[in-house]
Amino acid sequence: MPQHDAPFTPRLTGHDYVTPDLRAKLTGTARFSEDFRIEGMLACKLLTSPMPHAKVARLDTSAALAVPGVRAILTAEDLPAPADTVTDTGSVIRANKWAEPALTMEPLYAGEPVLAVAAATEAAAAEAIAKIDIAFSPLPFVIDPLDSLRPGGPAARGDGNVWLQPPAGPDGAPAMAQVGRLSWTEADFAAAGPHRLPLGKPSREWAYGDLEAGFAKAALVLDETFVTPNVSHQTLETRSTLAYWQNGKVFIHTGTQSTMQTVPAISRWLGIPPERIVFISEFTGGGFGSKGTAGISLVIPALLAKKANAPVMMRVGRELEQAIGRARPSCIGRLRAGFAADGRLLALDMYVLQDNGPYEENNDAAMSGRIVSLLYQPQAMRWRGLAVLTNTPTRMYQTGPGGVQGVMLMDRVLAKAARELKLDQVAIRRVNAPAGKAPYDAAGAGGKRPHATSAFVKEALDQGAAAFGWQARQALPRDLGDGRRRGLGVGLGSFVAGTIGFDGLFVITPEGRLRIHCGIGNLGTESFSDVQRVLADAMDVPWEACEIVWGDTGKHLPWSCVSGGSQTIHAMSRAALAASLDAKKKLKEIAAQTLGGAPEDYAVAGGRVSRASDGRGLDFGEAARRAMALGGAYDGHEISAGLHALTKASAQALAGQGLLAVAKDTFPRDGQSFSYVATFAEVEVDTATGMYRVVDFHAAADSGVVVHPRAFGGQVVGRSMLGLGHVTGQRWVFDRHYGMPLGSRFYQTKPPTILELPQKTGWSSVGIPDPETPIGARGIGEPPTGAAAAALLNALSDALGDDRFRRAPILPDMILASLEPDARPRDHGLSANV
C-alpha cells in the first residue's frame, strides 16, 4: 500500500451532518430483525431451566410433538459438537468444553434454554412447551463467589468452581485456561474479617516495580474493599432472530455489533462455511457489548429452522432477554494503596475477584488491572485476579468491560487519599496522570512494559475543571439547609480505543459516484457512516456524491472490526483512508494511460484526476468507465494479496462495476490506542429521604480528532448516563435460598430515565490528534461510563463522608442507614446480589 502521501483536508470530518440511517428510524421504516416476515414463518418458544443448576432426568417430547401446528423440537442432541476451527489467517480457535452451548441438558443458571419448539403459532408452541414431559434433578448451586471459595463451599459446575491458568508451556506459549476446583482457607477468611476481601490464592497475577519499598516510603496507606454491581445490558431491542435456509444457504436476521465479523462466528457455531451464510442486520437496537457477533439467540432459531425445514422467528421477550441477554460481571476489589505526601501513587496492590457466571472466563478482572495501571500510573503495582463460576446468567463485555470496574474500585481510593492528605481532587489526579507514551501492565516477554499511543489526561482534567468551574465550586457550602447536602466529585475513565488491520472497499461508479461498501454494524453510534466522512474528504468529493451500502452480507461488504471496545472510528477510518489511496493510485495510472505522462504528474481533487501543467484530466465517471474497459485490478477482476478472504470474495463479486478501490490498513502504529475522560459532577443529597440527583455534570474527553461532534457528544453523555446508572440503581437481586433471580424487569433493575439526566450536562474534547493514526481519531464509547460512575461515587463521599459505602448501587435506604448514629458501612457480606 502506498504511504499516506496527500495531506488530509477535513472539509466534512469534524462537522455535524445528518446520518443516512436516521430518517428511517424516525418514520418507522427502519427494519429491525423482528420486523421481518417471510412466507411460512414458524414461531419459536424455549423451555428454560426453572433451577439455577440441574440435570434433566427425564424428557419425553411425544405429547408436545402431537400438538397441532408443532413442526420440530430442538434439543442439545441436535447441536454440532464443539470442534476446533481454523481462521482464514491460519490460527486455530480451539474447542472449549466449558464454553456456553446453545441448549443444554445440564443448565447452569435459572432461565437457561433447554430446548426449543417450532410451531405454526406462538400459542401452539407454548402449548407444546406445556405438554413436554420433563423432570429436573437439582444440583448444588452458588450465587455469590465468596460462598464458593469457602472451605467446602458449593461449586457452580460438577468439575470446578473457578477458572485456573495453567503455567505456560516449554515454548512460553500461554496454556489454555481450565475450569478447576479452588477453595480458600479459613485462615484467609479470618485474616480479612467480614468487611474486607480475603486475599486467598489467585489464578492470575502480574507485578512490576518494588511494591514493599513503595509502601515503606508512603505517607499514607489505604486498604479499601468495594463491590461493583452485576449489570445486565438491557438493550431495548431484545435479541429476537429470524432464520431460514434456502438453496443450501442460511439467511439470518438479527441485531449485531458487526455485520462482517458475525459471519465467521455463525460459521463456527453452525459448522458451515462462510460462503453459505447470508447475514442481514441493517439496524440494531442497542448492543453495549452484548451483541458482539453470534451467540445462542442466533444459533437456536438457525438450527431449528433447518430441522423444521421452514423459516423460524424467535421472538425474545423481556424476561427471556434478562436471562440470555448478557451482563457485566460484578467485581469485588481490594486495593492497598501507598501515597506520597504530594499524592503520588507509590505502590498499589490490587486484588479483583470476578463473579464470572457459569461459562467462558471474562476478561474484566484482567482489564480492570490494565486500566488502573495506565490511568493512575502507580510506580509499583501488583495485580491479582480470580474468576469464580456462579450459577447466574452468562456474562459478556459491557461498555468499558473491566475498565469501568477498575475505575469504580480505584478512583474512590484516590478521592479518599486526597481528603486525608488535604490535596485537591484534580491535583491528585494530575500528579498521577499518564502522559504521552504512557506504560501499563507488567513487562512482556521482551522485558519492556507495553505503552499507549498517547495520553493527554492532564489536558482533559484542566479543560473539564475549567468548564465545570471546579476551583470556584470548592468554596460552596456543603450544607444546603433543610437537610440537603452538596457533594463535588471528579472521576477518570479510560479504555482501549482502536484496532488496526481491517479492509476498506468502495466503487467509483460510471456515474462518478462513490458507492461505499461497509461491513460495520449499525447499533446507533453512527460510526458506520462517520468513518466514510473521512473517505469523502480523502477523495475530495461532496457527501452527496457518496452512497453507503451496509447491513447485508449479500451486498458484498469488506472485513471490518466489531463495533465494540471503541474500535471503529480508529480502525475503519484507517481502512477507509487505505482504500482511498488505492483509488487515487488507480485513478492516476488510468489518467496517465489515457492522457499520457506519468501517474505522478496527476492529482486527485474536486471529483477529477488531472494534471496541473495543462489542466487535462478525467472526471470520476470517465475514469470509472476507463477502469471497466481496462479491467484487471482497475475494476476488480484482479484482487491484490493481503486482503481478508471475505473482502476478496466481496471485491470479486463487485468486479466490473466501476473503478474498484480495496485495501487493507497497513499504516504503522506504535503502542496501543486508549481514550480517556475526566468527569466532574455535583450531587445534591436529601438526607431526610436518601434521594439524590446529579445537578451539574461535565465530561472532558481526550479521544483525538472528533470526526462527528454530535455523535461524539451523544456517546459521551449516553455512556456517562450508563455509568450514573451503575451507582443509582442497576443491580441484580437473587433469592439466595433457591438461586432464582428476582429482578428481571426494568423496574427491578432500573436504568436511568430522562429525569435522571443532570440538570446541566456538558461535554468537551481536548481534540489533540492521536500521533499514531493518520486521521488522529480514537474511539470514545467506553471511557465515559467508568468516569461518570467514579465522579458520582466521589461526589457522594464528598457530601456524606468517606467509608459510608462499600458497594454500588447506592440506593436511598443505604444513604439513610449510613446516616444513623454509629452507622457502619453496609456491604451485605460483600455480595453484589442483595
Residues lying near another protein in the complex (CB under 8 A) are found at 16-19, 21-32, 35, 37, 39, 41, 43, 68, 120-124, 127, 234-238, 283-286, 288, 313, 317-318, 523-526, 710-711, 713-714, 717-719, 721-722, 725, 745-747, 751-755, 757, 759, 761
Q: How far is the CB of 389 from another protein (least distance, A)?
A: 28
Q: Which amino acid is at 547?
A: E
Min dist. Cβ of residue 722 to another protein (A) = 6
Residues 6+ apart with CB under 8 A from 491: 407, 411, 678, 679, 681, 786, 787, 788, 789, 790, 791, 792, 793, 794
Nearer CB in complex with another protein: 510/713:
713
CB of 724 to another protein, least distance (A): 9
Q: Considering the complex, what minimum distance in angstroms separates the CB of residue 204 from another protein?
A: 32
Q: How many CA atoms lie within 13 A of 208 on its CB side?
A: 17
Q: Which is nearer to another protein, 199 or 757 (CB)?
A: 757
Element (H, E) at 190: helix 186-192
Phi, psi dihedral angles at 254 (to 5 degrees):
-160, 165
In whole angstroms, how close is the CB of 705 to another protein at the nearest point?
19
Burial class (CB in 10 A: 0-12, 13-18, 19+), 383: buried
Q: How far is the CB of 371 from another protein (least distance, A)?
A: 22
Contacts of 170 (CB under 8 A, 6+ apart): none
Around 447, how many Cα atoms within 13 Å sit in the side-chain half-sphere? 0
Neighbours of 183 (CB within 10 A): 17
Is residue 4 within 8 A of residue 582, CB to CB? The reply is: no
Instruction: Tell me how far apart the alpha carbons of residues 301 and 123 are, in angstroms, rounded to a whole number.
Output: 17
Nearer to another protein, 116 or 654 (CB): 116
Q: Which three cell numbers stand for residue 324?
A: 440470555
Report, in Å, the least distance between residue 528 CB and another protein.
12
Q: Among 418, 409, 419, which Cα is nearest to 493's?
A: 409
CB of 236 to another protein, least distance (A): 4
Tell me how far, at minimum, the Cβ of 719 lies from another protein, in Å.
8
15 versus 449: smaller Cβ distance to another protein: 15
CA distance 696 to 758: 6
What 3 state SS string does 330-382 have? CEEEEEEEEECCCCCEEEEEEEEEEECCCCCCCCHHHHHHHHHHHHCCCCEEE
Please say which residue, 293 or 563, places its beta carbon nearer to another protein: 563
CB 301 to another protein: min, Å: 14
Choose between 22 and 688: whose C-beta lies nearer to another protein: 22
In angstroms, what is the minimal distance from the CB of 297 to another protein? 16
Which residue, 323 or 646, is less far from another protein as judged by CB?
323
Smallest separation (angstroms) from another protein to the CB of 753: 6
The rounded distance, in Å, linking the Cα atoms of 485 and 800 is 8
- Closer residue to another protein in complex, CB, 25/307: 25
Closer Cβ to another protein, 654 or 694, answer by number: 694
Q: For residues 38 and 431, which CB has a smaller minimum distance to another protein in the complex?
A: 38
Taking the C-alpha atoms of residue 508 and residue 623, their distance in angstroms, rounded to an integer, is 8
Choice between 472 and 754, CB closer to another protein: 754
422: helix, strand or coil: coil
* Shortest Å distance, C-beta 713 to another protein: 7
Q: How far is the CB of 123 from another protein (least distance, A)?
A: 4
Nearest residue (CB) to another protein, 233 versus 336: 233
Q: Which is nearer to another protein, 100 or 756 (CB)?
A: 756
Residue 134 neighbours by CB distance under 10 Å: 16
Strand pairing class (514-518; 249-253): unpaired
Of 283 and 559, which has the nearer Cβ to another protein? 283
Cβ atoms of 670 and 453 closer than 8 Å = yes
Nearer to another protein, 423 or 701 (CB): 701
508 neighbors 661 (Cβ within 8 angstroms): yes
d(CA 89, CA 738): 47
**Nearby residues of 417 by Cβ (< 8 Å), 6 or more positions away:** 220, 222, 337, 339, 343, 423, 428
Cα-trace Rg, the chain: 28
Peptide bond into 809 cis (omega under 30): yes
- Residue placing its CB nearer to another protein in the complex, 288 or 339: 288
Q: How far is the CB of 761 from another protein (least distance, A)?
A: 5
- Give the residue with the Cβ less far from another protein, 528 or 732: 528
Q: Using CB atoms within 10 A of its CB, is residue 757 exposed (0-12), middle (13-18) or buried (19+)?
A: middle
Cβ 256 to another protein shortest distance, Å: 12
What gap in Å lies between CA 99 and CA 81, rounded to an integer?
12
- Minimum CB distance to another protein, residue 530 (Å): 11
Please identify, using beta-carbon distances, which residue of 264 and 285 lies nearer to another protein: 285
Closest among 782, 720, 711 to 14, alpha carbons compared: 711
Are 575 and 504 a contacting pair, CB within 8 Å?
yes
CB-based burial, 779-797: b 16+ in 10 Å, e otherwise: bbbbbbbbbbbbbbbbbbb
Sign of the C-alpha dihedral computed for residues 145, 150, 153 and 157 taken in this order: positive
**Shortest distance (Å) from residue 320 CB to another protein:** 11
Sign of the CA dihedral running 778, 781, 787, 788: positive
